[in-house]
Amino acid sequence: MTLTKRKLLAGLATLPLALSAKGLAAQGVTTVVATTGMIADAARQVGGDLVEVRGLMGPGVDPHSYRQTRSDIVAMARADVVLWHGLYLEAQMEEFLQDLGERGTTTAVAEGLPRDLLLAHDDYDDKFDPHVWMVPDLWTHVVENVRDALSAVRPDSAEVFAANAAAHLAELDELATYAAGILASVPEESRVLVTAHDAFNYFGQAYGFEVMGIQGISTESEAGLRRIADLVDILVDRRIGAVFVESSVSDRNIRALIEGAAAKGHEVVIGGELFSDAMGEPGTYVGTYVGMIDHNATTIAGALGGDVPRDGMKGLLNG
């Protein structure tokens, strides 16, 4: 952490309470700051009316490269609870978050996942792939960790948090069943998912899809011309007809794949836009975790020849 950031963090204790969301705690509301939209949604589902949640990274924001702003630092330092993902997802913020953890209540909600459930990171020998939210069965561990973090700060409300978490976990179980069903309807030879970066490895493992990303697990890794050329050859040789763009990653490389395949006489279309590292707009169905995964599973299965309901699990897509 730079000296400037250390001075700012140290000086926050002198800021007026009016600058802090923590003033809400006096009214019976626990203030929560979450780094990603997915974690913020989990906190809202578990905390209900007892929490006021601020998510730092909105729609289309890439958490791999995100750097905290001064207002972020103020919000996190003053919050009752700070929830971050861990597993090196917030790479540019990790030092600050660890330092903040020595001064207040912070929880890296994905760090506690059983190591035998995690996949190795392509770029770092001592790290794991952080994209565990792509599979509802894995995300349940994060929801449970959010429940425990809120209960630790507010033990008098632990029963409420437990009940809210149980209801949300039941919804995730329904989501997992739906996703597995429609993805199993994709013909085996078509279960190839080509995306902008390797955010879907857990998805591929869970649902039996071969996953190919142009960039590595982190969007910070560069996609070379050789990688694009190799993927073009795969698209052509295996007659793969659809690739997918991502809401938080530039579509430049995906369009290069399409153009490269076209130059070799093979037509490839964009099968849809997937939510990889960020959810949809706040206040919409796809701005929730359930809506995000419903959208992804329905879009992938539909584009690759599966049998899917037009409007997804809850009938709320395409509305």
Greater confidence (21 vs 221) lies with 221
Instruction: Find the mean pLDDT for residues 115-139.
Output: 92
Instruction: Find the mean pLDDT for residues 136-144.
Output: 98
- Residue 269's SS3 state is strand
pLDDT at 231 over 80: yes
pLDDT digits (tens, 9 = 90+) for 271-298: 999 999 999 999 999 999 999 999 999 9
Instruction: Find the mean pLDDT for residues 162-182.
Output: 98
* One fold for 3-158 and 180-303: yes
Share of the chain above pLDDT 90, in %: 77
Q: Residue 72's pLDDT is what?
A: 96
pLDDT at 123 over 80: no
| Residue in 237, 234, 304, 293 with CA at minimum distance from that of residue 269 | 304
Q: Residue 283's pLDDT is what?
A: 95
- Residue 51's SS3 state is strand
Confidence band, pLDDT 50/70/90 cuts, at residue 187: very high
Distance CA 8, CA 291 (A): 38
Backbone φ/ψ region at 14: left (φ over 0), alpha (ψ -120 to 50), beta: alpha
Confidence band, pLDDT 50/70/90 cuts, at residue 238: very high
Greater confidence (206 vs 5) lies with 206
Share of the chain above pLDDT 70, in %: 88
Confidence band, pLDDT 50/70/90 cuts, at residue 221: low
Q: Residue 217's pLDDT is what?
A: 56
Strand-pair partners of 107:
83
Residue spans per domain, the chain? 3-158, 180-303
Architecture of domain 3-158: 3-Layer(aba) Sandwich (3.40)
Q: Residue 9's pLDDT is what?
A: 52
Burial class (CB within 10 angstroms; exposed 0-12, middle 13-18, buried 19+) of 318: exposed
pLDDT at 39 over 90: yes
Q: What tokens were used for 8?
A: 């700012």
Instruction: Find the mean pLDDT for residues 241-260.
Output: 91
Confidence band, pLDDT 50/70/90 cuts, at residue 16: very low
DSSP string, 137-187: HHHHHHHHHHHHHHHHH-GGGHHHHHHHHHHHHHHHHHHHHHHHHHHHTS-
Confidence band, pLDDT 50/70/90 cuts, at residue 14: very low
Q: Are 298 and 309 in contact (CB under 8 A)?
A: yes
Q: Are 263 and 238 in contact (CB under 8 A)?
A: no
Average pLDDT, the chain: 89
Q: Residue 104's pLDDT is what?
A: 74
Instruction: Find the mean pLDDT for residues 92-103.
Output: 90
Instruction: Find the mean pLDDT for residues 121-148.
Output: 93
* pTM, two decimal places: 0.89
Distance CA 67, CA 52 (A): 23
pLDDT at 232 over 90: yes
Instruction: Find the mean pLDDT for residues 248-273.
Output: 93
Give the β-pairing of 192-197 and 106-108. Answer: unpaired
Give the CA radius of gyration of the chain.
20
pLDDT at 222 over 60: no
Architecture of domain 180-303: 3-Layer(aba) Sandwich (3.40)
